[in-house]
Structure formats: C-alpha cells, structure tokens
Structure 1
Amino acid sequence: MSPLPQGTLLLGIIFALIVLWISLKNYEGYFVEKKLFLSLIGGFVVGFLIILLEISTIGAGIFFIILFPAVEQFAKMIVTNLRTFQGKKDTPLYGLVIGLGFGAIYMPLYTIMTGTAIGSEQTMLFIALFFGVGIILFHGATGCIIGYGVASHDGSKIWKMLIITILLSLPITTLEFGLSFLWGKHESSALILSLKGVELLYGVLLYWYVTTKILPSVLPRRRRREVGL
C-alpha cells in the first residue's frame, strides 16, 4: 500500500476549524480569543499524546472498550479543569474547543496508524477518514460536557460529567473494537462503511444535542432568546 499523503493529517484540523467557526457564530463577545486559541492548541497536544499512548497499547484487547475512553476523557478533563477555566460560565465553550482540537488530531492519526498497521487498502482509509469526522464531533461534544461540569463550583459535578462522557464513549469504542477484526478484509467493506456511518451519525446527533442544550448556558438568557437557543 502506498503511503497516504501527509496532507491527510490536515483534514481533521481543517474540519475542526470549520465546525468551530460555525458553532461560535452566536457567541461573539462571550469568549476570550486568546483562551480560545490556547484551548485549541491544548486539544491538539493532548490528542497527539493520547494517540501515541493508545497506539503503544493497541494490544489491550477487549480492555480497549473501557480503558481508552477513560484515558481520553480524563485527559480532556485535566486540561479543561485548569485554574483559568474553573467556575467560569464560558468554560463549556472552551471545553468544546479543547474537544474539537483533541478529535482533530486524534481521529486522522488513529485511522491512518491502525489502518496502515493491518494493511488496509488506501481507498478504504480515505473513506474511513471521511466518516471519522463523527469522532471529531463526538470529542467536541464530550469536551463541552466536561466543561459544563468544570464551570460549576461543585467538584462532584465534574466527576459526574466525566463519568457521563466515558459512558457516552462506549458505543464508539465497541464499534472500533469490532472494526479491528474487519479491516483489511475486502469482503467486509460494506460492513465497515455501515459501522463508520453509525459512528458518524452518533457524533452528529451528540454534537447537535450538546450545542443546542448545554453550550447555550454560556449566554445570558436574553441573548439565548435573540438567537433562538
């Protein structure tokens, strides 16, 4: 299999930036640009470190289903729970950005590295990358949920939100665990695409829910009414 173009790694970042631009249209004036930028960079860094950790432990077998979600969400919580974000009303927004940054780096690298390791066809990898945008949306949504917990002054709520995000991760890791037995098998292409389609739909629906039900908590009530949130 010929190597994938290096530019493929930019796909996740470009998509995350587009989603971020669309998502923040109604939030102008309610976030600090410097914190927004640093949150995105923080998400990139954590996403890169976590994928390196997970690739080195890819042989974890069925423990992958529970262990990896816990590691991923805990890593995002560490960044989101920095002092600069604690107890701040706008923290769900920065949590969303951290999550999108995390997913933007994590998803392309995970797809390419695992697919290459098992010898999957290049065409299938590109298709998997396309459907993988659901993973980016998923991480953005769970980052926002964690940020919602950090925004409160209740320490127990942070852990509650963390547990919720881990539970929300289980369908994704269960699907990915199943996919690990299908990659590289030409006769399984249709099933692979179907499962990746389910991942995409799951990520889209969760992101829609979070950005319409949780993220608007950043805004004053009057502003929410003005923008229809």
Structure 2
Amino acid sequence: MSIKAILTDIEGTTSAVSFVFDVLFPYAARHLPDFVLNNAEQPAVAAQLAAVRAESGEAEADLPRVVEILLEWIAEDRKATPLKALQGMIWAEGYKAGQLKGHVYPDAVEALKRWKEEGFELYVYSSGSIQAQQLIFGCSVAGDLTPLFSGYFDTTSGPKREAASYTRIAERIGRPADEILFLSDIVQELDAAQQAGMQTCGLAREGGELPGHPAVASFAVIDLNGF
C-alpha cells in the first residue's frame, strides 16, 4: 500500500456544509461588528484589520467601513485570509462560551480514529483558518478530535484549486505526493491535488459522481488498500 498520510477537506467532507453556512457564518456575521469595534486595538485583530484595508484597496477605511467590507466578504463567501482569521477569533469565543459545537459526521470520526490507530498520518486542508479548523475538531460534537491530526493547512498554503498548493503541502508534510490521499467533495480541488501527484477520493454524500476520481458516500467505505 502506498498511502502513508491522509489530507482531508472539512466542508462537505468531514462536516456538513450546512453547519458552516447555516451556523458558523451567521454567527460570525452577527458578532463581527461588536467584536471588531471592541477589539480593534488588540495587536492580533489590528493586524487583520490592516490586511483588510490592504486587500480591499481602501487604506484609509475607518472601522465602520472595515466592518462593512468584512460583512460584504461574508455575503460573497470570499476566501480572504484576514476575514477567515477574524471569523476564527469570533468562533473561538463562541466555542469557549459553549454556544457552538463543531459538526463532524460519525462515519468520519470512526474512520479517522481507526486510521490514526493503524499508523496513518492525518492532516487537514480547508479554506477556513487553521484556528477555525482546530475549533471544529477540538470542540466537536464527538469531543476533542485534535489529537488525531499531525498538522493543519489553510489558504496561507495557497488556493485549494491550484496544484502548487498541494505540492507545497506535500513538501511540508515531508512525503512524496503519491503517498498522500486527499479527500474532498469539490472536483476542482481533487483535480488540483491529482495534478500535484496526490492520490484522490471524492466524498459525494448525496450521491452523484466527481469525474476523474473515485467517489464514495461515506468515510466508512473508503478502502485505503485500493490506492
């Protein structure tokens, strides 16, 4: 068997897309204005607000305008790194307060635990920030799953639909790309990983196909011996 490490997406793969869009995003949008206004002087927050001004091309934007920009980005589902970082900070408060619990499919929990016990290295690659990833798995409905993972990757490693991002991740993992299996529900992400030399498997939880890749409806039926 050539697979030594498994790299998994979150949204639509280990976790329901509805959790992100129906729970996390509205929570962040609801709490973002007060969070920004109350924490703008904190160094970590100030750095992200500066990045928002730079990325939006509005260097002189005041705080209310920065909040407007961020809310526009949330509405667009824009994969902007400073937005993801700020959302992660807001979600951290929600998880800490017990207002949020990360959704993870039971079949994903069972398979990840089994693969870890069998000696596979497990990694996460999501467009959500590394902090947000750790919160979903650390404060999940199944308890703290973070001990299962050896590392996390987000948009700081590059866009998920570009092969170079997966090449970069393989280098950071320290394994040849063909020893890594990438799991996702998005065909363009699977294509990019495949172009970088990774093995791929698509999650089609509602059925259907992901052309060019084997597809399954559940982690329970992924056979690592088949790669």
The TM-score, its normalising length taken from structure 1, stands at 0.30
Higher fraction of helix: 1
Higher fraction of strand: 2
